[in-house]
Amino acid sequence: MGRMTSPHSSAGTPARAVRKAVVPAAGLGTRFLPATKATPKEMLPVVDKPAIQYVVEEAAAAGLDDILMVTGRHKRAIEDHFDSAFELEQALAAKGDAVRLDAVRDPARLAGIHHIRQGEPLGLGHAVLCARRHVGDQPFAVLLGDDLIDPRETLLSRMLDVRDRHGGSVIALMKVAPEQIHLYGCAAVETTGEDDVVRVTGLVEKPSRRDAPSSYAVIGRYVLEPAVFDTLERTPPGRGGEIQLTDALRELATSGTVHGVVFDGLRYDTGDKADYLRTVVRLACDRDDLGPEFVAWLKEFVAALDGGTVGEHSRPAA
């Protein structure tokens, strides 16, 4: 792949007003211990790429060419992944292994990647605030690493289009079942003339099912106006004692404009163990190189599960 040029600057279309993306990557990854004891959770492989690479590819595909990672501990692995790897590249070049050489070089070619440390784990709102100096007085995107949007979807581009037309900030929303809403920020909304665009009138972080104003969950994609920084500076710690981005957005929704793009495509939560496994299986099935053989095995495996003979079938095929 190696997208050096964004789709928006190569086809004669004017470059977007939004060029920068912020990727908070400072979480402790406690749900994946012990795998995340010495490795950042963002570096866990989804098939053969770390989860965070999908997120950076998504930003680059939407025309964002400047990405700031807000990291905490274990910064090195993320930094190294998006850097060149001289010895490895030399070795692969000497072998004439062009495919693997590209795979090694691709992450560093996706965009200009920068890193900053959050220092104290004071919450998502605080992580975004750490990006203030780098972002400056411009609108910017925020992509959360635990939310993986299928590479065939164009959610972020759609959000950038909505921001170009309406200004203000834009968040991504997805309808979820009532018993799931406590896991997300939840938006009160009004319809607009467009099917997949709503106006956000209120927001609450991880409400109980009873207190949820709707079934619209905030998923981890945001296009924010720089005014969010001043709002975040004033935002007191909220749920969990953390400075919540949702709380700052609630204020922006009342003092300014926040739209929601309603997404009904493929999204995976790689921060959850069972969802992580589903993500790997789904994306592996879709791969031209791995898919056919893996799908054949999977069908056999599921049939064996149904027949109660999983042990017999899984061992030789594994």
- Which positions from 102 to 141 touch ligand G1P by CB under 6 A, shown as an x/- string? ----------------------x-----------------
CB of 308 to ligand G1P, least distance (A): 37
Q: Which stretch binds ligand G1P (CB under 6 A): 35-43, 45-53, 86-94, 142-150?
A: 142-150
* CA distance linking residue 30 with residue 24, whole number of Å: 16
Give me the sign of the Cα torsion angle 263, 249, 216, 30. Answer: positive
- Which amino acid, 275? D
**Does 65 engage in binding with ligand G1P (CB under 6 A)?**
no
Integer CA distances (angstroms), 24 to 74, 254, 256, 284, in order = 13, 25, 24, 26
* Binds ligand G1P (CB under 6 A): choice among 118, 246, 270, 279: 246
Could you say which of 144, 149, 159, 200 contacts ligand G1P (CB under 6 A)? 144
Provide, rounded to whole angstroms, the least separation between the CB of residue 27 and ligand G1P.
Answer: 7
What does the per-residue mask of binding to ligand G1P show for 196-235, with x meaning CB under 6 A?
A: ---------x-----------xxxx---------------
Closest approach, Cβ 99 to ligand G1P, in A, equals: 34
Task: Give a three-class secondary structure readout of 232-292.
Answer: HHHCCCCHHHCCCHHHHHHHHHHHCCEEEEECCCCEEECCCHHHHHHHHHHHHHHCCCCHH
For ligand G1P, give the closer residue by CB, 135 or 218. 218
Interactions with ligand G1P, residue window 5-64 (CB under 6 A): none
Return phi, psi of residue 183, to 5°.
-90, -5
What φ, ψ does residue 173 adopt, rounded to 5°? Answer: -125, 150
Structure tokens at 284: 């592996």
Peptide bond into 14 cis (omega under 30): no
Cβ at position 218, least distance to ligand G1P in Å: 4
Binding site for ligand G1P (CB under 6 A): 124, 144, 146-147, 184-185, 205, 217-220, 244-246
